[in-house]
Amino acid sequence: MKKLLIPLLFLAAALPVHAGRKDWKIGLQCWTFNGKSLLETVDYCAANGIRFLEIYPGQKLGEGFAGKSGHTMSAEECAKLRAILKQKGVSLLSYGVVRAGQEAEWRQIFDFAKRMGIATIIAEPALNQMEMLDKLTAEYGVNVGIHNHGEPTPDMVAKLLDGRSKRIGIAPDNGHWTRRGIDNLGSLKRFEGRILSIHLKDLNAAKRDVPFGEGTTQVAGILAWLDQADYKGPIIIEYEAGNQQAAVRKCVEYLKSFIETAPQHDARMQWWRDARFGMFIHWGVYAVPAGVYQGKEIAGPSEWILKNARIPMTEYQGFAKQFNPVKYDPDAWVRLAKEAGMKYIVITSKHHDGFALFDSKASDWNVVKATPYGKDLLKPLAEACKKHGIRLGFYYSQARDWHHPGGGESELWEPKQKGGFDQYFDGIAVPQVKELLSGTYGPVDVLWFDTPLDMNREKAERMVSVVRGAPSDALISSRLLVGGKHTTGLKPDQLADLREAGVDYLSYGDRQIPHQPQWRDWETCMTTNTSWGYQSFDHKWRTAEQLVRLLISVAGKGGNFLLNVGPTAEGEFPPEAIERLQQVGKWMKVNGEAIYGTGKSPFESLPFNGSCTCKPGKLFLHLFRLPAKGMLTLPMPNNIIKAYLLSKPDTVLKVEGQTLTVPSPLADPIATVVVVEIAGEPDVIVETPPVKKVK
């Protein structure tokens, strides 16, 4: 059996922890600690790296709480408990098992779940309460998982769910599966998409001191079975063994073996951290109008022309009939990226206009079925990337789609755009991402999501599960859940949501370079002119010097630089873009060592105009201007072993103490790199500003 990597989602310093294949959330049921209060259980979980809990009615809450059950807590007590959970790094997955009579009592339970951010109420409702629960789940946005309802057969369960919203599902436990007929893969598959959580309990009733059976073989079999069934929901451990915390610890230690450890995560991220420089490609039907509609230049980036000009959908589809990129040469594109010093490419597989550059079964609005070109554009690019050793990623607009009904956009201009977001997400976004990850394009290295709009934690986690369930180690950008324009100052709970959802790196806003990055792994994307897609009248091209210095600034803060090119509808890069990429490549050919695989600058501020990157035992000083009198003093006590020009290693600089003498003029007017070899790790001296006297 192939080893699974299952997240317990431990308290990690700065790394999102998630699975190599699945993104199951594994938590403990509070019954596990018979007689313990909720607060005592939370303390235990925090100390043992357990991030998730299911609490149940009737459990004593702990000192400072008057309520006898969770749903009897006041709003103030809920806020207090949420603050404690946040501090401890523990989240409540579900609340159950719940039984209630009148609607007013159910509302009290739903109110509590909503206040506490609980996704699912585990319940045993009466059959005549199902219609009411349908209404309440829609009103509150909280799921209901039916747990051990009487003695239902699979047919009875199916009848119970028939006609109900997908917010009502089942929450079975393995202790009842066999006698209730839900004991095989076929039965579980029957309820695919309606299983909201699975409870593992009584796994070795005869030997309760042994968690999950002798040698943990029983739970391994169950997890393998759930994997076969492509189950993606939470797993709740019910270990009803009184206060045998030693046995619970065995459970925790066993589950830890399934987790992607920090070293494993680092290994998966290493190529991306080493790369530092990639190519972004925005390409699609919007390259045909190229920013012009009805003879007018439309303001804004060209890929937004459909919305910005409020073009009727049938008219925009006519542009697809003119999209015939016969000059498309993916091998030349990849060779240019490589010449420029780029290590990976991210291309728009589907942008906001909903048009796919690949052959999709989920929608006919794609290059194969809607254009005279009639061929998949991504497959030959994937082959060229493999040939030249360049990593490949796909941009995918998961929550903004102006073509397909329900595509998340609030400002609609045609009736056919109306629809539910669930309809779009389930029918277009998820199937198309699965197509991209199916193996048709080889291993996919990055899934670059964008503009989350109606995305929430639940949908983000579902998409992460889709990516983790594919045969690739694709890295996931933060725009799956949080828009790039908001990442200039994320709040702690937003950062926590991103980490717990399982994204891999922070994607800052378009053209934004943060002053202080909030995540170890981050990236910014940049245009070569002002538009992302090809725009015929956009002639505001950045110079090669500007582009190189932007790359240096990003690398100096420990980030990756994704530089965009917008090809024409014929499939060619604009000559201005080619010229600049070639010039950047000339600089990178000489100075690449100061970019690839480097860490961020150890200095809070620099005593020169430029930036700094580093590697063990080396500082790379990127000088944009010659320092005053050619003298540069480093604010650090480390012994300087040697200093020289990276472009001319034989040109050794004069060093006196911490001061370097830089030869004039600079060897490269774009950026001259001085290599400083030092003893030990940089020990930066931070000057304390003088205290201002207040009169």
Q: What domains are there in the chain, each with its CATH number?
A: 28-258 (3.20.20.150), 266-594 (3.20.20.80), 610-678 (no CATH)
If you average pLDDT over every residue of the chain, what do you get?
83
Res 570: pLDDT: 97
* pLDDT grade for 501, boundaries at 50, 70 and 90: confident
CA quadruple 344, 512, 475, 557: dihedral, nearest 10: 80
Asked which of 332-346, 527-541, 671-685 is least confident by mean pLDDT, the reply is: 671-685
Q: Report residue 614 as tokens.
A: 């580093």
Task: Determine if residue 62 is left, alpha or beta; phi over 0 gives left, psi from -120 to 50 gives alpha, anything else beta.
Answer: left
Question: Which residue would you say has higher pLDDT here, 403 or 95?
Answer: 403
Out of 16-25, 468-477, 562-571, give the one with best mean pLDDT: 562-571
Does the pLDDT of residue 556 top 70, yes or no? yes
Does the pLDDT of residue 27 top 90, yes or no? no
Does the pLDDT of residue 117 top 80, yes or no? yes
Res 507: pLDDT: 93
For residue 187, count CB atoms less than 10 angstroms from its CB and return exposed for 0-12, middle for 13-18, buried for 19 or more: middle
How do residues 156-185 score in pLDDT, each as one tens digit?
A: 777 778 888 888 888 877 655 544 444 444
For residue 399, count CB atoms less than 10 angstroms from its CB and return exposed for 0-12, middle for 13-18, buried for 19 or more: buried
Does the pLDDT of residue 557 top 50, yes or no? yes
Res 374: pLDDT: 97
* pLDDT grade for 449, boundaries at 50, 70 and 90: very high
User: β-strands 143-146, 120-123: how paired?
Assistant: parallel
Res 387: pLDDT: 97
Helix (H, G, I), strand (E, B) or coil at 610: strand
Asked which of 83-87, 139-143, 502-506 is least confident by mean pLDDT, the reply is: 83-87
Tell me how far apart the alpha carbons of residues 84 and 95 are, in angstroms, rounded to a whole number. 17
How do residues 293-307 score in pLDDT, each as one tens digit?
A: 999 999 999 999 999
Q: What average pLDDT score do residues 30-38 get?
A: 62
Res 462: pLDDT: 83
Res 217: pLDDT: 40
What residues are paired with 200 via a beta bridge?
237
Strand order in the sheet with 344-350: 475-476, 446-449, 391-396, 344-350, 277-281, 560-565, 522-526, 506-507
Res 186: pLDDT: 55
- In eight-state DSSP terms, residue 428 is I
Question: Which residue would you say has higher pLDDT here, 204 or 684?
Answer: 684
Asked which of 67-71, 232-236, 367-371 is least confident by mean pLDDT, the reply is: 67-71
Helix (H, G, I), strand (E, B) or coil at 164: coil
Give the phi and the psi of residue 84 in degrees, each rounded to 5.
-65, -45
Res 21: pLDDT: 39
* pLDDT grade for 528, boundaries at 50, 70 and 90: very high
Helix (H, G, I), strand (E, B) or coil at 302: helix
E-strand stretches of 189-258: 198-201, 235-238
Res 238: pLDDT: 66
